Amino acid sequence: MGKPIKQVSLIGLGALGIMYSEHLSKKMPYEDLRIIADKERINRYTKEGVFCNEERCNFNYVTPEQKVEPADLLIFAVKYTQLQEAIKLVVNHVGKDTIILSVLNGIVSESDIGAVYGNDHNLYCVAQGMTAVKTDNRLIYMNKGILCYGELNESENSEKVLRVKSFFDSIGMPYEINNQMKTKLWSKLMANVGINQTIAYHETTNSQIQQSGPIRDIMITAMEEVIKVATLEEVDLSYQDIDYWLRIFNTLEPEGMPSMAQDVKANRTTEVELFAGTIVKLAHKHGVDVPVNEMFYEYFR
C-alpha cells in the first residue's frame, strides 16, 4: 500500500487549520506534526496562544527555512489570497512520496499547487459540515464535519487514497472517500458562491437564506449561474445539487454566518476571487451572462 503516513505538515491556522491541527496534535507524537509559519507568526502564536474550544493548543511550529524530513502528508489550510506565498514556503516539506491535501474552497487550489510540485502529489478534497467561528487566534467549533477526499475522476481507490485512509482511520479523523472529486469540488463551489456571498453581501445571518424571500432568491440564482457555467465546462451539476445544499443550509445555526460574512465583519480580505471571480471568468470564456455573480464580484473586489 505504500509508505505509511507518520510525518504531517500543515500551513495555515485559519478556522480549518486550527481545527485539524488540534485534532492531529492529540493523536500524534508532538514532533511528527509540524505547523509551518514564519518567525513573526510563531512569536505571536507562542506569546498570545492559539485556542480551540477554549483550550490552548500545543503545536510544534517550524519556520519555512528549517531543514526537515519531507512530510508524508502536507495540508494546505490557508486562505486563497495567501496560497501563492504558502506554496513557496512549504518547499522543504515536499518529497517524492509526499501526498498533498488542500482544504481550501473552490476548484483551483490543487492546480496552483500542482503547477509547482506536480499533480502526482495531489489528492482532491473538500471540507464539509463544519460549523465554527474564529476570532483572532481563537476558534470555537460545534461540528467538525468531514473531509471528503479522493481522486479527480477514477473508478477505484489509488495507493495515495489508501495511504490517507489508513492514516485517518488510525487518528479517528472523520472522512469520506469520493473518487469523482471534480463534480464534488464544483458542487461545494456552488454552495459557497450561493451562501457565502449572499450573506456577506447583505451583512446578515443564515436565518435570511433559510426562509422564502428576496435574499434566498438571490442566493439560488447565484447557484443556478454556477450550473450554467459548469455545464459548459462539462461538469454534471443539476438542480438536485441545489436542493441538496438547501437542505444542508436549513440545518445551520440561524444566527450563525459563513466565513466570508465573518471576513467582511472583521474587515478582512474576502475570497471573492475564488467564488464569483471563478464563475465570472469562466462565463466570459463561454460568452454567457452571470449577472448575480457579476454584481458580487464588482461589490467585493
Residues of the chain with pLDDT under 70: 1
Q: Rounded distance, CA 118 to CA 105, Å?
A: 20
pLDDT, tens digit (0-9, with 9 covering 90-100), for 165-189: 999 999 999 999 999 999 999 999 9
> Residue 150 has what pLDDT?
98
> Residue 271 has what pLDDT?
92
Domain 8-179 carries which CATH code?
3.40.50.720
Q: Rounded distance, CA 229 to CA 275, Å?
A: 13
Domain ranges of the chain: 8-179, 182-300
pLDDT, tens digit (0-9, with 9 covering 90-100), for 118-134: 999 999 999 988 888 88
For β-strands 146-150 and 175-177, DSSP reports them as parallel
Q: Which long-range contacts (CB under 8 A, 24 or more apart) does 231-238 make?
A: 232/282, 232/286, 232/288, 233/186, 233/282, 235/182, 235/183, 235/186, 236/183, 237/183, 237/186, 237/187, 237/190
CA atoms within 13 A on the CB side of 173: 25
Residue 148: all three cell numbers together: 471528503
Domain 182-300 carries which CATH code?
1.10.1040.10
pLDDT, tens digit (0-9, with 9 covering 90-100), for 51-65: 999 999 999 999 999
> Residue 131 has what pLDDT?
82
Model confidence, pTM: 0.90
> Residue 1 has what pLDDT?
65
> Residue 231 has what pLDDT?
97
Indicate if 182-300 has the same CATH topology as 8-179: no
